[in-house]
Amino acid sequence: MAEPQTQYVLAPDSVHIAYQVTGEGDIDLVMMHGTVSHLEIAWEDPKLRRLYERLGSFARLIRFDRRGMGMSDGLPELPTVRQQVDDWAVVMDAVGVDRAALFGTTDAGLLATLFAAEHPDRVRALVIFESAPRIMPSPNDSYGIDMRMMDRITDASLRIDLDAHLAIVAPARKDEPGFPAWFRRYNRSASSGIPAGEFLRDLAGWDAVDRLPEVIAPTLLLHRRGNNVLPIRSSRAWAQALPDGRPVELEGTGTAIYSDDVDPIADEIEAFLTGTRPLPRRDRVLTTVLFTDIVDSTGRAATLGDRAWRELLARHHAVLRDHLARFGGREMHTAGDGFLATFESPRHAIECATAVRDAVEAIGLAIRAGVHTGEVELTEDDVQGIAVHIGARVSALAGPGQVFVSSTVRELVVGSGLEFEDRGSHELKGVPGEWRVFEVMV
């Protein structure tokens, strides 16, 4: 799916709200992310892209950046809850939608709930992902977040310690090649005037508990069991307090929607809104995975500046894609400066990696790469499985200009003329046993 054009609508108080429209389904689904959002950079993350494409397969997806965030106008001061609730109507009116399903993640779920209570005629359904009708916990009920974790997130945001923030909201992806760099850029670009930490501190006063009986729209409440910020008891209590609350508990740990597999989320939303659950579309096949990412991309970006870095990154992407086409690779994920591709031949994956390494050196960049062959679950636009994790871990062991392969790959290309040097046995995080790793000497 091609990235959509960002459009703008002027709110009554002269604030421009940015929005995008994708998909051609019969259902209008209006989505607001939580305290961090950027319409355009979001597309660079493979999990968010996958989510948007899945939602757009059965609905017309209308996403917007809340005021003061991302592509929307920056603000001199924090917006009120009233302003943020009213912006749902501003965006719906801009695209000619009288009645829609609303989708809010984290604190945006509370805003969507307030809108549904005030405008029941405009809301056909609600989808809430890991939110609470009141942010501050109370001894009188089960709502609210773990304040110790919230303090850690707020502190990390105010200190602009994005690594600490990442470890809390998306722990499963903190070692994924390319993802931390994308996460840092996404968070830094999300604020268009007010730091996310200020938004987080303002959440303490938000409360929609008294309005829950007024929400007549059927409401899907999605919550990951391992969420370490918002206890699942809050979502369970919320479902019981609504006239038509439908709780669904998912596997996963992170607070951010992109922190774990998004397909179960899309499956539940599709079943909820259409009445039809999609059939599994996975095939288990033997394939070779190649991971690459730019070494010290954050440092280079800081040295060059945003514009020059974007231009250099675009050249890197063009070089890599040219070589994927040359060696028969299939691009699967692109996150910031990291690529994941699949190949039918392990030799072609190695040759592609070394060719890309040499080509990007000519434009002043250094990459690391990792190659592994194993069984994966393959769909039209996604690849998953333990073999993918092994490839990512092997890549992470490589240094600037190095191409590392697993022992599996080395054994498969015996007789090819490729030469390797042993780089020892390693424990790969999340993978059983020790794995011997070799460097390609080309």
pLDDT, one tens digit per residue, over 393-410 is 999 999 999 999 999 999
Q: Of 114-128, 362-376, 411-425, where does the model show the most confidence?
A: 114-128
Mean of the per-residue pLDDT values for the chain?
87
Residue 379 phi/psi, 5-degree rounding, is -120, -175
Question: Cβ–Cβ contacts within 10 Å for residue 24, how many?
Answer: 11
Query: Given this chain, do its domains 7-274 and 283-440 carry the same CATH topology?
Result: no
Q: Is the model's pLDDT at 440 over the cut of 80?
A: yes
Name residue 299's amino acid: G
pLDDT of residue 299: 85
* Cα four-point dihedral sign 142, 36, 117, 207: positive
Please tell me the distance from the alpha carbon of residue 112 to that of residue 102, in angstroms, as a whole number: 6
Whether 415 shows a pLDDT value over 90: the answer reads no
> 43, 3 in Cβ contact below 8 A?
yes
Please state which of the four CATH numbers 3.40.50.1820, 3.50.50.100, 3.40.50.2300, 3.10.350.10 is assigned to the domain occupying 7-274.
Answer: 3.40.50.1820
199 contacts 224 by C-beta, under 8 angstroms: no
Domain boundaries of the chain, sorted by first residue? 7-274, 283-440
Neighbours of 82 (CB within 10 A): 9
- Which has more confidence, 149 or 75? 75
Report the pLDDT value the prediction gives residue 196, as an integer from 0 to 100.
Answer: 58
Whether 432 shows a pLDDT value over 80: the answer reads no
What is the structure's pLDDT at 303? Answer: 87
Cβ 233 vs Cβ 261: under 8 Å: no
Give the separation between CA 195 and CA 429, rounded to whole angstroms: 33
Residue that the structure tokens 């912006």 belong to: 87
Amino acid at 302: A
> Which element (helix H / strand E) includes 403?
strand 403-406
Q: Of residues 165 and 58, which shows the higher confidence score?
A: 58
Q: In Å, what is the CA distance from 390 to each residue of 199, 210, 384?
A: 38, 49, 11
Residue type, 180: P
Give the Cβ contact number of residue 280 at 10 Å: 10
Q: How many CB atoms lie within 10 A of CB 103?
A: 28
Q: Considering only 93-102, 142-151, 294-303, 381-390, which range has the smallest mean pLDDT? A: 142-151
Q: What is the pLDDT of residues 42-71, one digit of tens each?
A: 999 989 999 999 999 999 999 999 998 899
Count of CA atoms in the C-beta half-sphere (13 A) of 204: 8
**Residues 393, 394, 399: CA angle, nearest 5 degrees:** 110
CA–CA separation, 219 and 30 (whole Å): 14
Query: Distance (Å, rounded) from C-alpha 222 to C-alpha 207?
Result: 19
Give me the mean pLDDT over the 115-124 stretch.
Answer: 96
Q: What is the mean pLDDT of residues 355-367?
A: 92
The reported pLDDT for the residue numbered 429 is 79
Model confidence at 281: pLDDT above 60: no
The domain 283-440 having CATH identifier 3.40.50.300: the answer here is: no
Report the alpha-carbon distance of residue 433 to residue 139 in Å, rounded: 46
What pLDDT was estimated at residue 146?
67
pLDDT at 195: 59
> What's the rounded mean pLDDT across residues 418-431?
88
What would the mean pLDDT of 146-175 be, rounded to a whole number? 70
CA 346 – CA 327 distance, rounded (Å): 11
Q: Which residues pair with 293 in a beta bridge?
A: 338, 368
Locate 351 and state its tokens.
């040759």
Residue 214 token pair: 């007024």
Which pLDDT does position 157 carry in this prediction? 60
Q: Tokens for 24?
A: 């051609």
> Taking residues 105-114, what's their average pLDDT?
92
Q: What is the pLDDT of residue 153?
A: 64
**3-state percent helix, strand, coil for the chain, nearest multiple of 5:** 40, 25, 35
Mean pLDDT of 127-155: 77
